[in-house]
């Protein structure tokens, strides 16, 4: 049994990590910490887990965490992560960070959309944890920058088709829609039930910090500079994210071929499911699961490819993918702890 | 007082027409009909209106309707509308049809996406009821083809900018999101609460029958053939529609200029509101109202214009706009019956 | 035209007051104030009202309010109300207070569940604004303590039957269910979308501050001490409140008779609707309206009467009833400003 | 490995059975049938399970089912169940029926609220599958009548206190609230998203067919005739059920004592959780899980006990409890297949 710690266990991503790790067959959840709920039992914060996860939330202490765990998940706000991770790395621990702090290899890019970076020397070391794309690098990584939820949903369908040279790289538009849990557990008017329910809106239009993250990875994979147009929207539901992307085709191709390219690329990768002809993803189908469902439509009249992808923003978009990365890092079955059968409704 | 009849009063669009007309200062709701609820009081079908609209739903009879009303709204399924409207027109009545049957001036186009047309000679006569765009033609029309909800939300922001020559006509993409009431009151698995709530999906991807309707109007306004890519999505909320459209700019232009073009174009038109810099539409802000809110963002990096529009699909997207058209036809204040103050939540 | 001011215009009750008064035919909304948004246009806080209510939120100043208005609504938190109302009363203004501060005539009772009272001398003067019950007293009142939402839904069905001697006064139980807007616009984990949606719970079980308010009014009407068991619950919806009350019958009576007692009692009172046999209230039917719908069922086996009542907690439960009270005070039509036709969906 | 079949696998209870059994460590899901989807892969009906449960839905054939399975779950409508179960029993199979057909030992009682019974001789044999109460009888049962969802939520908190003689048996009232999945997957206006969302109502007030079921079990446990008042309500959420019950105390008792009685009674029973002082159940905490959470409050003023219980109506209220019963019947760990860690949100 490996021992895992979750730092920041009471936010939504952290709590879902606790859920997954508590049921993981090969890992023992050995420590959890919380700034806000230090000293309280986890099941007092999340009574759903009473009788299952009653361990106490510790106050963070680097030494204690290093003593208690082999692998450490940091589910903290940006900036807080990079303030504690160097010490963990120095102690030889493997770290999977769910914030944006170690997603960028280029400190300037990070600083242009976040803040001054406090651990630049680690950026080179860190691996971008998009599990299906960077599997080999993840295996040996000591530090993972776990991808943002939006980038995960945008990148997985696009990368194989970009690599195939099918996509006009100047034409890419991603129109994403996220459930409210993506905004986290902090309270704000923006997440007040009465302001969100029976409401749909765009926000941070072409101005979201996940946009540079997508550009970076797409450019790396295509070997050319790519900047896409990205618009996120807020859906009145708890979990789920759907991205509809539009791009002009570089050469004529039919839907069957596109589907085949995707199927071939993701062959053997359990968590990516390509929808059959005539069916399209629905966030309902990935709710609570680590899947990314992908659908394809060619708009022939306009020579345009439409890709639709659905993930659970808290699972494949955060906690689930981070456990998938841990599984890869530890040489476990990629699915371990992640193969709960999804709910029909 | 003008006398108005609603044919098909118990579907969602019909019932919202009843709501609006029952409160209209210059119009008397003189007859309502329902195939399903003929002989029953309207307030038995919609108990919310008990004490307000207790009149009986009649079974449709052309003569009785013509005797009872000066202006007739038909809120019927496609095909049913065109089977009864010719007789009403022959009797000299003015008709506003909320189905697709009289939206197209070209029978072939209609038939390519619906069915054989049974009243082709009326197509030339009918006016497309996009109130702010075809005001002059509406004034004198005897027959209005009231626009679809999706086309209303797509066309209002785009038309002024197309006319200004700002938009690369090959580049237009409209990504729309609709509340569930757009699917009507008929029961189906697709509108079952448990299948819709906590769910988000795309449907009829690049294959929706409102797409040719948009193409037709955009082409007419631009004087050039335009075919856009259109993808509708379903949002777990009752009312509301938001469209995010993407198009490449033909010439450099900043947000302020775009906003000014829109403000100038819609000057004096109460129901179109252009959002100030830094704010964007939210369907919440138009819930239950006849407004179309429009927001603008220029993605300079990609030379792309992003337009966001929000309407209530049942009001500006159906019943409300049809009453607005009636007001224009009858020489009334455009706002009459439509100026209820929206709910804050 | 009378001139009305709303103090605390940007909370949910205050904003709904603004909505109603802005559409009121006999009243001019002459001033609105907000602690949080002083100096900002109301439509910036509630963009739904852009073009309709663009007046600025003033910072509260007693003299300016008194100069601007004949009648003043205070939609403020408990305690804040009683700190400003005495000055308004001294200036001869008529005041309708939506907080709990002036609902009790007995300071001790108030203090037992709220805090020390700062304007005890006004308690005798204040009238409990349950419009249909205290109409005569309201007409001449200078100060109204507008009822809580829960008490409104509990009291209206019970009072006529209590007065008829039908109810065993020791047996009354009220099980109430409220939409989230009842918790107000302040942010908290309890109103976070992800904590509320897909969730149902009881709270403050037999320990809610509206309980003594109900006891007081029921006792007054029955002429005997009554204490009821009251349990509120939270429903994942924005607006709406449903109360199911249970009481043992003092003497055998059938449903028709109970319904007739209610119909007779509320004869001529537009806003109370008694449901026909076989139908029961649904909050949907009163959404956005000032109605209180009441249904009756006799459980003969257990000699028990079940009353179900539905209101919109923000309208009949707060802003709407306060305007109804204003109409009564000013000798206007009780329905003025409150007869918007409800939405079918 | 035991082999299990699910008859009627595509309704909500059946599908949740498939979910649970597909992840069960000691049972192989060897056959599923569906009238509506015979011949189609299960994952076509529930795409969430693609890659996990792709087996085909068979058309029901008694012989094939008996050949394929050791234990058979029937998740069928009332009446259909009793038309096929006798043949399965004759073939020596153990059957767990989720309909009402075998919940009653008294045919007359069944017939008074359902229809003529077609397999009366089996009624004596059948065991009421309230897992925590009838554990011993379940162990050896060949036929289980799995409890209704409402009875499960009403009975579990009440039975221990009834047995203790604490409750005035003439005073019991159960006010229950259910999510929409309780109405099943069939389409109807009553489950249309636009009719349910933002809505709350009572239905079948004191007239629900689960009422006699509760009366029967309570009477059996108390050894006296008990008829309770039962009112169900519909909550705009998918899963979840909360019951608030009210009863007069036969003798003075404090909350701590009541809680201790419950804790003692359910000692060692994993799926019943008694809430600590000051906390109350929330359906959110049992969503997707087989728990029944119970909270207690004594209203001393009225000498009344308030019990609040929360279950997931599809899990503990149907599929989950039926698997729990199977585990008991087969001598497996009661928790097997049912110990998935619940989602934090």
Please indicate whether, in this complex, the C-beta atoms of D340 and A23 are within 8 angstroms of each other: yes
Give chain C positions within 8 Å (CB) of A238.
193-194, 197-198
Distance, CA of A250 to CA of C150 (rounded, Å): 63
Task: Report yes or no: B255 at the A interface, CB cutoff 8 Å.
Answer: no
Q: Which residues of C5-21 are buried (b: 16+ CB within 10 A; e: fewer)?
A: bbbbbbbbbbbbbbbbb
Give chain D positions within 8 Å (CB) of A52.
339, 341-342
Pairing of strands B71-74, C229-234: unpaired
Give me the phi and psi of C81, to 5 degrees please: -55, -55
Task: Report yes or no: A283 at the B interface, CB cutoff 8 Å.
Answer: yes
pLDDT tens figures, B4-59? 999 999 999 999 999 999 999 999 999 999 999 999 999 999 999 999 999 999 99
Chains touching D, CB cut-off 8 Å, 3+ pairs: A, B, C
Catalytic member of C57, C149, C275, C292? C149
Task: Report yes or no: A208 at the B interface, CB cutoff 8 Å.
Answer: no
* pLDDT on residue B328: 98
* pLDDT on residue A44: 97
SS3 state at A21: helix
Task: Report yes or no: C284 at the A interface, CB cutoff 8 Å.
Answer: no
Q: Is B142 exposed, middle or buried (0-12, 13-18, 19+ CB in 10 A)?
A: middle
Q: What is the mean pLDDT of residues C294-319?
A: 98
Q: What is the mean pLDDT of residues A172-180?
A: 98
* pLDDT on residue D97: 98
What is the residue-averaged pLDDT of chain A?
A: 97
Please indicate whether, in this complex, the C-beta atoms of C197 and D237 are within 8 angstroms of each other: yes
Task: Report yes or no: B270 at the C interface, CB cutoff 8 Å.
Answer: yes
What DSSP designation does C315 have? I
The size of the A-C interface in CB pairs under 8 A is: 54
Q: What is the mean pLDDT of residues B88-97?
A: 98
C-alpha distances in angstroms, A303 versus A258, A259, A262, B223?
A: 13, 16, 19, 22
Which of C14, C36, C188, C193 should we substitute to test contact with A (largest number of A Cβ atoms within 10 Å)?
C193
Give chain B positions within 8 Å (CB) of A175.
175, 244, 246
Integer-rounded Cα Rg, in Å, for chain C is 20
Q: What is the mean pLDDT of residues D57-85?
A: 98
| Catalytic-residue membership of A194 | no
Please indicate whether, in this complex, the C-beta atoms of D201 and C246 are within 8 angstroms of each other: no
pLDDT tens figures, A112-144? 999 999 999 999 999 999 999 999 999 999 999
Give chain C positions within 8 Å (CB) of D206.
297, 299, 304, 306
What is the residue-averaged pLDDT of chain B?
A: 97
Give percent of chain B above pLDDT 70. Answer: 100
SS3 state at A328: helix
Chains touching C, CB cut-off 8 Å, 3+ pairs: A, B, D
C-alpha distances in angstroms, A51 versus A39, A130, D263, D314, D345?
A: 18, 34, 14, 21, 17
Of B170, B194, B306, the CB nearest to A205: B306
* pLDDT on residue B182: 96
**Residue ranges in chain B assigned as alpha helix (H):** 12-22, 42-45, 62-68, 80-90, 107-113, 120-123, 135-140, 149-163, 193-196, 210-222, 255-265, 320-329
Of B12, B191, B193, the CB nearest to D180: B193
Please indicate whether, in this complex, the C-beta atoms of D194 and B187 are within 8 angstroms of each other: no
Distance, CA of C68 to CA of C85 (rounded, Å): 16
D-chain residue closest to C285, CA distance: D199
CATH topology of domain B2-125: Rossmann fold (3.40.50)
Give chain A positions within 8 Å (CB) of B179.
198, 200
Give chain D positions within 8 Å (CB) of A285.
47-48, 50
Of D16, D47, D343, the CB nearest to A285: D47
Three-point CA angle D98, D104, D106, nearest 5°: 155
pLDDT bin (cut points 50, 70, 90) of residue A332 is very high
pLDDT bin (cut points 50, 70, 90) of residue D37 is very high
Of C205, C238, C242, the CB nearest to D280: C205
Of C53, C287, C344, the CB nearest to B19: C344
Long-range contacts of A268-275 (CB under 8 A, 24+ apart): A269/A132, A270/A334, A270/A335, A270/D51, A271/A131, A271/A132, A271/A316, A271/A324, A271/A334, A271/A335, A271/A338, A272/A132, A272/A156, A273/D50, A273/D51, A275/D47
Q: What is the mean pLDDT of residues D4-8?
A: 98
Q: What is the mean pLDDT of residues A88-99?
A: 98
* pLDDT on residue D281: 98
Task: Report yes or no: B168 at the A interface, CB cutoff 8 Å.
Answer: no
Please indicate whether, in this complex, the C-beta atoms of A288 and D288 are within 8 angstroms of each other: yes
What's the token pair of residue C345?
A: 């969906």
pLDDT tens figures, B154-177? 999 999 999 999 999 999 999 999
Q: Which residues of D114-148 are buried (b: 16+ CB within 10 A; e: fewer)?
A: beebebeebbeebbbbbbbbbeeebeebebbbbbb
- Within a 13 Å sphere around the CA of C7, how many CA atoms are in the beta-carbon half? 27
Q: Which residues of D317-336 are buried (b: 16+ CB within 10 A; e: fewer)?
A: bbbbbbbbbbbbbbebebeb
Indicate the CATH number for domain B149-313.
Answer: 3.30.360.10
Please indicate whether, in this complex, the C-beta atoms of C202 and D238 are within 8 angstroms of each other: no
Q: What is the mean pLDDT of residues A271-295?
A: 97
Please indicate whether, in this complex, the C-beta atoms of D345 and C304 are within 8 angstroms of each other: no
Please indicate whether, in this complex, the C-beta atoms of D287 and A48 are within 8 angstroms of each other: yes
Show which of residues 15-54 on chain B sit within 8 Å of chain C, judged by CB atoms: 15-16, 18-20, 22-23, 46-53
What's the token pair of residue D66?
A: 């008996």
Greatest pairwise CA separation for chain B in angstroms: 62
Give percent of chain D above pLDDT 70. Answer: 100
Please indicate whether, in this complex, the C-beta atoms of C181 and A198 are within 8 angstroms of each other: no
Distance, CA of C87 to CA of C107 (rounded, Å): 19
Task: Specify whether the CB–CB gap between D18 and D29 falls below 8 A.
Answer: yes
**Could you tell me how far CA D315 lies from the centroid of its own chain?**
7
HEC string for C22-74: HCCCCEEEEEEECCCCCCCEHHHHCHHHCCCCCCECECCCHHHHHHHCCEEEE
Give chain D positions within 8 Å (CB) of B194.
12, 180-181, 185, 191, 238
Helix axes A149-163, A210-222, angle to 10 degrees: 20
pLDDT tens figures, B200-230? 999 999 999 999 999 999 999 999 999 999 9
pLDDT bin (cut points 50, 70, 90) of residue C124 is very high
pLDDT tens figures, D171-202? 999 999 999 999 999 999 999 999 999 999 99
What is the residue-averaged pLDDT of chain C?
A: 97
Q: Which of left, alpha, beta for A106 (phi over 0: left; psi -120 to 50: alpha)?
A: beta
Q: What is the mean pLDDT of residues B188-194?
A: 97
Q: Which residues of A77-93 are buried (b: 16+ CB within 10 A; e: fewer)?
A: eeebbbebbbebbeeeb
Question: In Å, how far is C31's CA from the nearest CA of chain D?
Answer: 32
* pLDDT on residue D181: 98
Give percent of chain C above pLDDT 70. Answer: 100
Task: Report yes or no: D198 at the B interface, CB cutoff 8 Å.
Answer: yes
What residue segments make up the domains of chain A, in order of their start?
A: 2-125, 149-313
C-alpha distances in angstroms, D21 versus C53, D26, D33?
A: 58, 9, 14
Give me the phi and psi of C16, to 5 degrees please: -70, -30
Distance, CA of D163 to CA of D220 (rounded, Å): 10
Q: Which residues of A34-68 are buried (b: 16+ CB within 10 A; e: fewer)?
A: beebeeebbbebbbbbbebbebbbbebebeebbeb
Give chain C positions within 8 Å (CB) of D236.
235-237
* pLDDT on residue D186: 94
Task: Report yes or no: C143 at the B interface, CB cutoff 8 Å.
Answer: no
């Amino acid at each position: 049994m490996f021992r895992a710690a979750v730092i920041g266990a009471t936010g939504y991503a952290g709590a879902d990590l606790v859920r997954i790790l508590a049921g993981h067959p090969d890992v023992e959840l050995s420590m959890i910490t919380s700034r806000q709920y230090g000293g309280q039992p986890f099941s007092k914060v999340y009574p759903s887990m009473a009788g299952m996860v009653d361990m106490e939330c510790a106050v963070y202490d680097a030494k204690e965490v290093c003593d208690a765990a082999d692998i450490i998940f940091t589910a903290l706000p940006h900036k807080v992560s990079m303030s504690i991770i160097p010490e963990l790395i120095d102690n030889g621990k493997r770290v999977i960070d769910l914030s944006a702090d170690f997603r960028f290899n280029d400190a300037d890019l990070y600083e242009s959309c976040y803040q001054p970076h406090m651990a630049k020397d680690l950026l080179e070391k860190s691996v971008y944890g998009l599990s299906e794309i960077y599997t080999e690098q993840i295996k040996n990584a000591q530090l993972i920058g776990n991808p943002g939820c939006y980038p995960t949903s945008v990148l997985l369908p696009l990368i194989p088709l970009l690599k195939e040279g099918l996509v006009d790289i100047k034409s890419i538009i991603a129109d994403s829609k996220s459930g409210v849990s993506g905004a986290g557990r902090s309270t704000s008017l923006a997440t007040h039930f009465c302001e969100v329910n029976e409401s749909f809106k765009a926000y941070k239009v072409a101005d979201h910090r996940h946009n540079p993250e997508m550009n970076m990875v797409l450019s790396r994979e295509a070997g050319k500079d790519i900047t896409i147009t990205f618009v996120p929207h807020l859906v009145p539901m708890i979990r789920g994210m759907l991205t509809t992307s539009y791009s002009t085709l570089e050469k004529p191709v039919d839907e069957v071929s596109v589907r085949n390219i995707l199927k071939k690329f993701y062959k053997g990768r359990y968590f990516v499911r390509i929808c059959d002809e005539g069916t399209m993803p629905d966030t309902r189908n990935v709710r609570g699961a680590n899947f990314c469902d992908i659908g394809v439509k060619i708009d022939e009249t306009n020579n345009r490819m439409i890709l639709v992808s659905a993930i659970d923003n808290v699972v494949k978009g955060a906690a689930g993918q981070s456990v998938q990365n841990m599984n890869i890092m530890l040489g476990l079955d990629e699915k371990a702890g992640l193969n709960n059968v999804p709910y029909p409704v």
